[in-house]
Structures are given as structure tokens and as C-alpha cells.
Amino acid sequence: MSRYVVTLFLTVTGPAADRTAHFEYVTDCYAKLEEVHDNLLDSAWSLSDEGAYADVEVEITVEASDESHAYDVARASARTAIHDADGFTPGWEDEQTGVGRIQYRIAREEAVPVR
């Protein structure tokens, strides 16, 4: 197993008044995942709210067999935290927008092996 830092760049839509509180709830849910999954080693989350949408950048350090597995672990764990916080991820990798609900979509991603 190797360590990778996977960075996910997410776009968040939904009511502007709710996004910051929801983001904080997501990060709390992610911390609970880290406590019970040995392959989730560390994470750092940031939110930039742009008015009509917000950008979330999350760096997730994972232990995985290869880069492809690292992406899978990072994506799945972030998406699980969003769902645990009652968020939505319809069309997770699409660039569509929704109205009236907090929704997260992957804008782009990258992984770097940790030596």
C-alpha cells in the first residue's frame, strides 16, 4: 500500500444562506469517517463562497494500492460525508446545477503519491 494525497475540487449549489453551515456539518461527518477507517489518514477542507455557488477544495490523504484506488477511496469518502450530512450528489461528476438544495459536484481532481 502507498500513500496518496488526492485533491477534490467541488462546486456547491443551493441556498447561499445554508451552504456554510452545511459545509461545517460535512467536515464533522468526514472526521467521524476518519476515526473508523484506517485508510483515511488526513484531510483538509476549505470553502470559498461565490454567491450563486461555492467552491470546496478538499485534500484527502489515503492509503491505497494504486492511484486509481486512491481516487476511488477519496471520492467515496467525501461523497459519504456529504450524504451523512443530508447533502445531495446527483450526477456527482456532471457539471449540471440544481435549484433549492445543497448539491456537490466534482469540478476537477488530482492525486500525488506521498513518498
Which domains are present in the chain? 2-114 (3.30.70.360)
pLDDT at 93: 65
The x, y and z cell numbers of residue 59, run together, are 485534500
Q: E strands of the chain, at which residues?
A: 2-13, 40-49, 54-64, 103-114
Burial 68-82 (b: 16+ CB within 10 A, else e): ebbbebbbebbbbbb
Per-residue pLDDT of the chain (115 residues; tens, 9 = 90+): 999 999 999 989 888 888 999 999 999 999 999 999 999 999 999 999 978 889 999 999 999 999 989 999 999 999 999 999 998 887 776 544 444 556 777 777 888 888 7
Q: Global pTM?
A: 0.82
- Collapsing DSSP to helix, strand or coil, 67 comes out as helix
**Whole-number pLDDT of residue 77:** 97
Q: In the beta sheet, which residues pair with residue 3?
A: 63, 114
